[in-house]
Amino acid sequence: MLKMTHIRKVFRTDLVETHALRDISLNVAEGEFITITGPSGCGKTTFLNIAGLLETWTDGQYLLDGQDVAALSDFQRAKLRNQKIGFIFQSFNLMPDLNLFDNVDVPLRYRGMKGAERKDRIERALDSVGLLSRKKHLPSQLSGGQQQRVAIARALVGEPRFLLADEPTGNLDSNTAEGVMELLQSINDAGTTIIMVTHDPSLASRSARNIHFLDGRIAESDHIAVAGQLEAVS
């Protein structure tokens, strides 16, 4: 579903060139749950931004569902983001003056969906994260864990093919983080591909595959769960 070949990303200023990604090649299959780990500044977030079409890259090829996305216009990329990709951020990135319903509504607005269908989808999405009863609340009236669940509902409301999560539990305590992980796990079980950046090795160990970034390169790629399952079968 996602195929990157020899992707490089260089940030340039007048004085400095920073190689954020060096020759990244990666295949992500439909339904996979991949975690990305690595030290700060190793290129995890840059990779995620490129995967989510929020950032351009310097060299290499990126195919999304077999389509070369390099040549797409801003409009086409936005459409792809809206229809195929969901984003979850460490700091939730909810809009503070919109209530939960309106926050979850944002991606559907850009899809041009009719009011009744939007309402139905939003309520289902909020219900799936257990926050339907609080749809009129503002984000500031919720706890961090609840805000992240709203962000997940917002990411899922458009029924994307894959979800990009940038340290979704980074701002949460361990209990709340566990709840969010379980939610992501169930989303993946339902068939959504997930790529998650995390610093937490215990969370990384729960994914099917962990990719370790170091200095802009893939240092290690382990099929943790799949390898474990294969071992068990043999």
Partner 1 sequence: MFIYYIRLALLSYRRNPVLSSLMVLAVAIGVGAYMVIFTLNYFMGGDPIPHKSAQLFHVQLDYGDPAVADFEPPPQLTYIDAIALLDLSSEHPRTANSKFVGVVEPQNRDIRPFSVSGRGNFSDFFTMFDIPFQYGSGWDREADENRQQVIVLSSELNDQLFGGSNSVGETVHLHGYNFTVVGVLDRWSPMPKFYDVNNGPFDPIEEAYIPWHLIVALRMDRSGNTNCWAAPEGDGFQAFLNAECAWIQFWVELQDSAARDDYLNLVDNYAAEQKSFGRLQQPVDKRLFDVNEWMVEQEVVPDETRILSALAAMLLAVCLLNTVGLLLSKFLGKAPEIGVRQALGAHKGSLFIQHVIEAGFIGALGGVLGLGVAALGMEGVKILMGDLIVSDWMQLNLTVMLVTIALAIVCTVIAGLYPIWRACNINPAIHLKLQ
| 55 forms part of the interface with partner 1 (CB under 8 A) | yes
Residues 99-128 that bind partner 1 (CB under 8 A): 106-107, 109-112
Residue 223 binds partner 1 (CB under 8 A): no
Site for partner 1 in 162-221 (CB under 8 A): 166
Closest CA to 104 of 58, 154, 66, 36: 154
Q: Which residues contact 82 (CB under 8 A, 6 or more apart)?
A: 107, 110, 111, 158
Burial category of 126 from C-beta neighbours within 10 Å (exposed 0-12, middle 13-18, buried 19 and up): buried
Residue among 82, 128, 146, 188 that touches partner 1 (CB under 8 A): 82
**Looking at 47, 57, 62, 87, which residue binds partner 1 (CB under 8 A)?**
87
For residue 8, state whether it binds partner 1 (rule: CB under 8 A).
no
Pick from 18, 27, 65, 95 the residue near partner 1 by CB under 8 A.
Answer: 95
Please list, in sequence order, all residues whose beta carbon lies within 8 angstroms of the beta carbon of residue 41, skipping any fewer than 6 positions away: none
- Please state the length of the chain: 234
The secondary structure element, H or E, covering residue 10 is strand 2-12
Instruction: Write out the residues near partner 1 by the rule CB under 8 A.
Output: 45-46, 49, 52, 54-55, 74-75, 77-79, 81-83, 87, 89-91, 93, 95-98, 106-107, 109-112, 154, 158, 166
